[in-house]
Amino acid sequence: MCLGLPMTIVETDGLTALCEYGNELRHVSVMLLTNVTLGAKVLVHIDSAVRLLDDKEASLISEALNGLDASLNGQDYDRFFTDLIDREPELPEHLR
């Protein structure tokens, strides 16, 4: 399984970018994107930025990753999934 990280661009030369997630800095390719700017949130898979994220989506992904980490460490994880509490699961439109 491959997880994408929501990272923030802190430096870029147009082809690569230095991105930050938490305390981690990583050089990633941004060749799949257009209009890469400092401070932009990107979804990174295997050291390649695959798409831009808005702040809300980046936050939701970060919270889900934090919740996964908490559950793997035997900690309470409900607070990381507040957007899912008291909501029935829904299939994506293409699966209905």
pTM for this structure? 0.81
* CA neighbor of 7 nearest in space, from 39, 45, 41, 37: 41
Give bridge partners of residue 16 from the DSSP assignment.
29
Task: List, for residues 58-92, the tens digit of each pLDDT value.
Answer: 999 999 999 999 999 999 988 888 878 888 888 88
72 SS3 class: helix
For 88, the token pair is 């029935």
Quick one: CA torsion of 58, 60, 63, 65, rounded to 10 degrees? -70
Higher pLDDT, 84 or 33: 33
What integer pLDDT is reported at residue 1 of this predicted model? 61
Residue 57 in this model has a pLDDT that exceeds 90? yes
73 SS3 class: coil
**Averaged pLDDT for residues 16-38:** 96
Mean pLDDT of the chain: 92
Decide: 72 and 58 in contact? Cβ < 8 Å: no
User: What domains can be seen in the chain, in order of their start residue?
Assistant: 5-81 (2.30.30.140)
